[in-house]
Amino acid sequence: MLEEPEIDGSSSPFARFAAELRRARRAKGWSQVQTGKRMGYSNTLVSYIEGVKRPPTRKFAVKADEVFETGEAFYELWRRCTRAALLEGFEEFADCEGRCRRLRTFELGVIPGIFQTPAYAAALETAAVQRGSITPVQADERIAYLAARQRRLLEQKTPPIIHAVMDESCLMRPVGGQAVMRGQLDHIEELASRPYITIQIAPLTLAEYRPFLLPLTLLTLPDRTVIGYSESQLRGYLERNRDIVSARDRDYDRLQVESLSTGASLAKIRAVRKDIQ
C-alpha cells in the first residue's frame, strides 16, 4: 500500500479540514473506504477531500461531526473554509439575504449572482484563478456556495419578492463564450416568468443619468428594516444607516422608472440572445 502524503494543515482552511479529517480517521483505525461507508459517501470523495482536491460541503462536515463524534468541530472548520473563499463582509450579507422578504438589486457588467447559471459562474471563477486572485479550491467553494445561496433564495416555499435591474452591459459581455451566454440568457427569460421576479434593463442611453456607478443590493428584512449592500474589489459593505439607505432607496426608485419596462426588457434580452450564433 502506498504511503499517504502528509498534509500541511497550516497552508489553508481547506488543508486544515483535510488534515483533521485524516487525523480523525486514522485515530479510529478506519480506511477511506470504511469512512466513506460510515458517512454515506464514496471513498473517492473522502480521498479527494483529504487530498485538498475538492472542498467539503456543509452536509459533509455535519456528517463528519456525527460519525467522529466531534461536536461541531468539522462544521466550524467548514465555516472557516467558506469565509476564506468569500469577500470579507459577504457572509453577513448572505445571511440577511436568506431571511429577506424583498430584494432589489442593480448589477453592472455581469449577470447578478442569484441569476447566474453554473456555467456562467464557473467561467467567472476560472478567470479569477487564471489571474491568480483565488485558488482553484476557492473557486470550487465559491461556485458551491453560490448554488446553495440560489437554492435558499429562489426555491424556498415562500420566496421573497425580487426586483433586478441589470445594466445593458450585463447582456453584452460574452462571459464564457457564446454557448454559455445563450444558456444564461435563456435562464434569465425563464426566471422572468416567475411571479415573484421582475427584471428590467437599464439601457446604455441612460448614460450619466444612471443613478448608481457601482452594483447595489437593498434587502427588506422580516421586521421591515431595509439594509444596503455594496462591494469594492476587496470587501463587501453592509449599510444600516437609515439616511444613507433611504437615499439609495430613492435612487433605486428613480432607476426603475428610467429603465426599460418589463416587456421591453424581455424583448431586449431576446434580441441579444437571437444575435448570439
Give the pTM.
Answer: 0.71
| Domain ranges (residues) in the chain | 13-84, 87-115+151-275
Q: What does the block give as the cell for 145?
A: 456556495
- What's residue 84's pLDDT? 56
> Which residue type is seen at 79?
R
CATH of domain 87-115+151-275: 3.30.870.10
Length of the chain: 277
Q: Which three cell numbers stand for residue 19?
A: 488534515
Give me the architecture of the 13-84 domain, per CATH: Orthogonal Bundle (1.10)
State the greatest distance between any 2 C-alpha atoms of the chain, in Å, as a whole number: 68
Q: Helix (H, G, I), strand (E, B), or coil: what is residue 199?
A: strand
158-209 tens-digit pLDDT: 999 999 999 999 999 999 999 999 999 999 999 999 999 999 999 999 999 9
Alpha carbon separation from 202 to 161, 196, 210, 226, 252 (Å, rounded)? 20, 20, 8, 23, 11
**Separation CA 244–CA 61 (nearest Å):** 39
Q: pLDDT (tens digit, 9 = 90+) per residue, 88-128?
A: 667 778 878 888 999 999 999 999 999 999 999 999 999 99
pLDDT above 60: residue 51: yes
- DSSP assignment letter at 42: -
Cα separation of 269 and 255, whole Å? 18
**Three-state secondary structure readout of 98-150:** HHCCEEEEEECCCCCHHHCCHHHHHHHHHHHHHHCCCCHHHHHHHHHHHHHHH
How far is Cα of residue 64 from the mean position of the Cα atoms in its chain?
A: 24
